[in-house]
């Protein structure tokens, strides 16, 4: 069984004396002989210099609410619900977040043999694997849906431990499937894309125009369109829509009025929300809500 200590990626953030101290909560949802799954919530806090942290184990992290910035090596990686993050064992990092942005993520701490098996490589080569050097990948709708069902299932209490482990492995198989790697962006492009993502993550549920985003990051709309799509593999509008849909996956099990939820998420109306959700996840919002509620009722 994994140790509930040094193997974890600690995201406790020490606040500057003028800030309100952050009090992250971190709850184990699944303790297994092959992995530890934890649910981490961190309230919004702003720090001038976040403290250095360290992970002794390989981890796959699934942010599902809010956003934060992961500073590791020479990279600045945004953690938002559209990303899966890959933490390399034995590497120092820092995590920063803005005061108004709470965030939450699932952290899966893995034993090296399982990581190596899922990546079809040797344990000795894990550190140099493309996913752990790139550090992140886009979480497409299928990954977001799998992440959501896994999270809701664990929160509601899974009757069979084996079933939970199998669901976890299926989620990891999807996350660790190496996507078509695009050329590594220049430092200036990476910063431009990161600023764009931060803006979208902070404003995902409000009406946003391309010119507004481009103006915020200091480039023309045409340039932003070209560079963002080349870097991320999806256009700006799809990235924004996927952030809204990720929040929908989180809130639907508790939603009573789907029209209100659609408007709160930034969709024009209920029908637009339903059509977009069905196109992304293969079911309607009401069907997803019913399935997650049934899962809850079966375990309580």
Q: Which of 131, 275, 216, 146 is nearest to 228 (CA)?
A: 216
- pLDDT band, very low/low/confident/very high, at 242 (cuts 50, 70, 90): very high
Yes or no: say if 252 and 292 are a contact pair by the CB < 8 Å rule.
yes
Same CATH fold assignment for domains 25-175 and 187-298? no
pTM over 0.75: yes
Parallel/antiparallel/unpaired status of strands 68-72 and 25-31: unpaired
- Domain extents for the chain? 25-175, 187-298
Tell me, what's the pLDDT at 48?
Answer: 67
Residues 6 or more apart from 112 whose CB is under 8 A from it?
58, 89, 123, 126
Output the six-digit token pair for 3: 């140790």
H-helix or E-strand spanning residue 70:
strand 68-72
CB 82 within 8 A of CB 142: no
Fold of 187-298: Arc Repressor Mutant, subunit A (1.10.10)
pLDDT digits (tens, 9 = 90+) for 185-241: 788 998 899 999 999 999 999 999 999 999 999 999 999 999 999 999 899 999 999
Sheet holding 103-110, edge to edge: 25-31, 35-42, 103-110, 58-66, 83-87, 136-138
**How far, CA to CA in Å, does 182 sit from each of 132, 192, 226?**
15, 17, 14
pLDDT (tens digit, 9 = 90+) per residue, 72-87? 988 889 999 999 999 9
Cα–Cα distance between 86 and 48 in angstroms, integer? Answer: 25
Q: What is the pLDDT of residues 36-51, one digit of tens each?
A: 999 999 987 666 677 7
Give the pair of three-digit tokens for residue 59.
């981890």
In this prediction, residue 158 carries a pLDDT of 59
pLDDT tens readout for residues 84-101: 999 999 999 999 887 777
Q: Does domain 25-175 have CATH number 3.30.365.10?
A: no
> Where residue 13 falls among pLDDT bands split at 50, 70, 90?
very low
Q: Measured over all CA atoms, what is the biggest interatomic distance in the chain, rounded to whole angstroms? A: 53
């Amino acid at each position: 069984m994994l140790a509930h200590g040094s193997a974890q990626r600690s995201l406790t953030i020490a606040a500057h004396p003028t800030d309100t101290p952050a009090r992250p909560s971190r709850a184990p949802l699944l303790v297994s002989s092959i992995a530890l799954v934890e649910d981490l919530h961190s309230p919004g806090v702003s720090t001038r210099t976040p403290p250095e942290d360290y992970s002794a184990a390989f981890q796959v992290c699934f942010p599902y609410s809010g956003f934060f910035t992961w500073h590791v090596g020479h990279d600045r990686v945004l953690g938002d619900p559209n990303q899966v993050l890959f933490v390399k064992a034995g590497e120092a990092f820092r995590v920063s977040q803005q005061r108004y942005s709470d965030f939450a993520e699932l952290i899966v701490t893995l034993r090296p043999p399982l990581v190596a098996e899922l990546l079809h490589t040797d344990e000795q080569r894990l550190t140099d694997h493309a996913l752990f050097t790139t550090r992140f990948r886009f979480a497409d709708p299928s990954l977001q849906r799998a992440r959501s069902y896994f999270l809701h299932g664990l929160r509601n209490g899974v009757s069979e431990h084996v079933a939970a482990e199998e669901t976890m492995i299926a989620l990891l198989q999807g996350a660790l499937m190496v996507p078509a790697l695009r050329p590594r962006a220049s430092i200036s492009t990476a910063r431009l894309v990161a600023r764009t993502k931060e803006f979208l993550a902070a404003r995902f549920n409000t009406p946003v125009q391309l010119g507004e985003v481009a103006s915020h990051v200091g480039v023309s709309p045409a340039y932003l369109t070209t560079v963002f799509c080349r870097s991320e593999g999806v256009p700006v509008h799809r990235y924004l829509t996927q952030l809204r849909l990720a929040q929908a996956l989180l809130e639907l099990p508790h939603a009573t009025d789907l029209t209100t939820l659609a408007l709160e998420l930034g969709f024009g109306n209920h029908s637009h929300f339903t059509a977009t959700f069905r196109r992304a996840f293969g079911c309607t919002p009401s069907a997803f809500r019913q399935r997650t509620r049934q899962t809850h009722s079966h375990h309580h």
